[in-house]
Structure 1
Amino acid sequence: MGQMVMGTDGAGLNKSLGGWHLWGIAVGLVISGEYFGWSYGWAQAGTLGFLATTILVAVLYTTFIFSFTELTTAIPHAGGPFAYSHRAFGPVGGFIAGYATLIEFVFAPPAIALAIGAYLNVQFPGLPPKLAAVGAYGVFALLNIAGVTIAATFELCVTLLAIGELLVFMGVVAPGFRWANFAAHGWSGDAGPLSVPALGGIFAAIPFAIWFFLAIEGAAMAAEEAKDPARTIPRAYIAGILTLVALAFGTMVLAGGVGDWRDLANINDPLPQAMKAVVGADSGWLHMLVWIGLFGLVASFHGIIMGYSRQIFALARAGFLPSVLSRLHPTRRTPHWAILAGATVGIAAIFSDEVLAFGGQPLTANIVTLSVFGAIVMYIVSMASLFRLRRDAPTLDRPFRAPGYPWVPGLALCLACLCLAAMIYYNLVLFGVFVALLALGWLYCRLTAFRRPARGSDPVPEAGR
């Protein structure tokens, strides 16, 4: 058996994941973003405005991933950004990055679960979407508990099916694409690209462009379970971001040109509805998209459960969350309590209409935005950690070094700060919710972990150095 990374029960995570597994996790975590969520950006910016937003965000993610990979290979730790920031800035940095990542990964799954419910509702109109969403949590929480190799192999299979389905979607709708449809009302306020409404829409749509790529960094949380992470992680990340950029632009542009895109702007199932406009409601292509398209949602849902469970596990192991959440299943060696804890929070979010459905936005859109706040804060702290560790830990083994340093990570940092500023401006109340969640976490840490003597283990143990 491979090297084990210790939990609080004396045993640890098993190193069993290869390069294809990691690529499947990196792409699978994100690929649901091609199936839903992004179309809310059309409502903010129009099709042409949102295209501009997506180009900006694609540059952010490409530069970020090429930089983030340096951290992932230098410190292959289940806590991912928590570990890098703890190493660079101590407990406060670790807390900010760790809890921001936790918010990102705990609030993304309920949005995906609601989309799963919406897709199933197309086939079974009598099935309440929220009930289907809860059922999805039950099934995939149990699958993640069953074992990491089983879970990762399943993730790879459904990711490949989801990619194939997106390619089929593009091929089927391409004959119905018309640039005139895509460009009609293409800028917010029907104004020119440099008008105040158009520029405002471009910045307001940032969370939904980020949704195209959100959570690709979650593959870092499988680093402790990767075989030869110095070699497999860079390949998985670079191939993953290239795959996702191609799929994002192809899906968005073709879906927007098959009819009146405004009919797709505020729904959870834009791809089936776009295909319906081309092939009709009774086509076998449409039913295939609904059924096979579920694999895209399932890939991300299942993968992000894997990601949040490792983040909860790492935070609990370091004393930033209750220690029970770092216990591993006695036979499966998976963080079962962490998986169940994240599922509980996610199910609560699904039924949080009275709390999170406000500001004229659908519940799903607000959950997406809250998750994106966590991601952007984590990106900023991670890039700051890269610069700090380059200065303070020059001898740290770096199997992969960020190309174009300091310009490439510097561009990622600047774009992330720009995105955060725009998101705060357009989503002030949701930012308040995000800050409140961080404050609750900080209060817990002040009352418990930070006042507690060291538990005999470094928050970033040698396996992660």
Structure 2
Amino acid sequence: MAETSTEQLKKVLKPVHLWAIAVGLVISGEYFGWNLGWAVSGTIGLLIATLVITLMYITFIFSYTELTTSIPHAGGAFAYAYRAMGPFGGLIAGYATLVDFLVATPAIAVSLGSYLHFLYPGIPVTEAAVGFVALFILLNMLGVKESATFSVFITILAVIELLLYLGIVSPHFKTANYLADPMPFGWAGVFAALPYAVWFYLAIEGVAMVAEEVDNPKKNIPRGYISAIITLVVLALGVMIITGGLTDWHKLSHLDYPLPEAIGIVLGKGNGLTKIFASIGLFGLIASLHSIILASSRQVFAMARSGYLPRALSNINHKFKTPHWALIVSGVVSCIFIYRFKTDQIIMLSVLGAVVMYIMSMLSIFILRKKEPHLNRPFTAPLYPVFPAIALIICIICLFASVYFNPDMSLIFAGGLVIVLIVFVAMGKHKVALNEDMMNAPAEQGVIESLE
């Protein structure tokens, strides 16, 4: 039996908020993580991988927007896969999404701590990372509109900062540097680099997590997604190519702070501009950490509300109308990963979650087109079925590459999924149908429901 609570998520987000949340979720990918792909592929190898992944994300986002506007649910891919494939499909998509966002949070926090340590060597990286997670969990508890307003401000600063970086270092670009040892591992390196190229755009789909809090979602969600993907493509290609031609790229291929190191090599680490850049470089990481904590908490909230996680995690704070327990649990998980795993391991695990979630989402589009042909679709995937098919094929290739080149993290991901499935079946959750109203359009109803 379902009970309806009087608590509801506020519907206050506009296109500028969605652009800020989407870009903010992703923009840390331009600051670190992608450079690890150079170590396995070289500059040209990573460029090829990035162009392939860029095509994947463009076709994915235009297809994913169909799902987001048709089913504006805070659970995102979890809700879409449940509606298309039932309890097991929803569970797999929900698990993958949780891994995607919960694991990306500590990766960004560690890089943020590394940037701060670069500026002030006396500050330890790990403790700084934990402190940042705690700070932004608190900020997210204060209300979604307040959080989104902060996202707009900090994301604009982050974009300006990257444009400033490109303007300062572009005159120092040398083609000889960029083309030195361009594909040391051949085409195998291109496949190995695919997961790192995903990091350029990973988490943009997180806008779906705040779909229930968007004013006029059918019109505003597409605007937010499309403007965000254009912004990110320009920044990703610009930062990757220009940085690769500044110096010997091998020096930057294992760092958590490649951009300040690159500008330090070009201008000198004692140069005032280097210090200023490293300081404002924190903005991009702050934007992503803040936004991804927002998105991950909504995923925990949605799955708890549906009975797939402890229902207490779906409680809403009476004053601020935010899921405070979901935020706290997300923070605890992040801190565990900060202390237990290295940055490249965290990135790979997050990418595995993202790619599996993308696959489940694209499958959901095809299934729902046949299963529910009359579903209200305010935005439809362009050139259907071509766009979702391209995204699906590239995602499958990326998944195989991730598993082949990263067997250890793949086993951890698969092992977690097996455990979740066993618990799911043992508790009989697969036999309990979720309330149809909850899975249809809770953004229209504006209510928080829990299964009894």
Give the TM-score normalised by the residue count of structure 2: 0.95
Query: Structure 2 residue aligned with 1:380, among 345, 354, 359?
Result: 359
Q: Secondary structure at the match of 2:327?
A: helix
**What is the rounded CA distance, in whole Å, between the counterparts of 1:388 and 1:177 in structure 2?**
48
Q: Secondary structure at the match of 1:13?
A: coil
**What is the rounded CA distance, in whole Å, between the counterparts of 2:323 and 2:339 in structure 1?**
25
Which residue matches 1:192? none
1:443 is displaced (CA, Å) by 2.8
**What is the rounded CA distance, in whole Å, between the counterparts of 1:10 and 1:83 in structure 2?**
22
1:287 is displaced (CA, Å) by 1.3
| Aligned amino acid, residue 411 of structure 2 | G
Sequence identity (%): 48
Which residue matches 1:134? 130
Query: Structure 2 residue aligned with 1:173, among 169, 173, 180?
Result: 169
1:21 is displaced (CA, Å) by 0.2
Q: Does structure 2 retain, via aligned residues, the 8 Å contact 1:43–1:265?
A: yes
Q: Does structure 2 retain, via aligned residues, the 8 Å contact 1:141–1:339?
A: yes
Query: Structure 2 residue aligned with 1:287, among 251, 267, 275?
Result: 275
1:455 is displaced (CA, Å) by 7.5
* Change in 2 beyond 3 A, CA 1:8/1:186: farther
Q: Does structure 1 retain, via aligned residues, the 8 Å contact 2:195–2:401?
A: no
Which residue matches 1:61? 57
Which residue matches 1:365? 344
Which residue matches 2:207? 219
Q: Secondary structure at the match of 1:12?
A: coil
Q: Secondary structure at the match of 1:213?
A: coil
Q: Does structure 2 retain, via aligned residues, the 8 Å contact 1:8–1:327?
A: no
Query: Structure 2 residue aligned with 1:242, among 230, 236, 240?
Result: 230
Q: Secondary structure at the match of 1:395?
A: coil
Which residue matches 1:143? 139
**What is the rounded CA distance, in whole Å, between the counterparts of 2:38 and 2:435 in structure 1?**
51
CA deviation string 1:224-266 (max 9, x = no partner): 0000111111111111111101000100111111111100000
Q: Does structure 2 retain, via aligned residues, the 8 Å contact 1:29–1:299?
A: yes
Does 1:316 pair with 2:301?
Answer: no
Which residue matches 1:52? 48
Does 1:438 pair with 2:438?
Answer: no
Does 1:106 pair with 2:97?
Answer: no
Which residue matches 1:407? 386
1:451 is displaced (CA, Å) by 6.4
CA deviation string 1:133-184 (max 9, x = no partner): 0000110000001100000110111100000000000000011100100110
**What is the rounded CA distance, in whole Å, between the counterparts of 1:266 and 1:33 in structure 2?**
15
Which residue matches 1:416? 395
Q: Does structure 1 retain, via aligned residues, the 8 Å contact 2:62–2:382?
A: yes
Which residue matches 2:27? 31
1:445 is displaced (CA, Å) by 2.1
1:99 is displaced (CA, Å) by 0.8
**What is the rounded CA distance, in whole Å, between the counterparts of 1:449 and 1:250 in structure 2?**
50
Gaps of 5+ in 1: 1-5, 189-196, 357-362
1:449 is displaced (CA, Å) by 5.9
1:284 is displaced (CA, Å) by 1.7
| Structural RMSD (CA) | 1.5
Q: Does structure 2 retain, via aligned residues, the 8 Å contact 1:318–1:458?
A: no
Q: Does structure 2 retain, via aligned residues, the 8 Å contact 1:7–1:327?
A: no
Does 1:263 pair with 2:236?
Answer: no
Give the TM-score normalised by the residue count of structure 1: 0.93
Q: Secondary structure at the match of 2:439?
A: coil
Does 1:275 pair with 2:245?
Answer: no
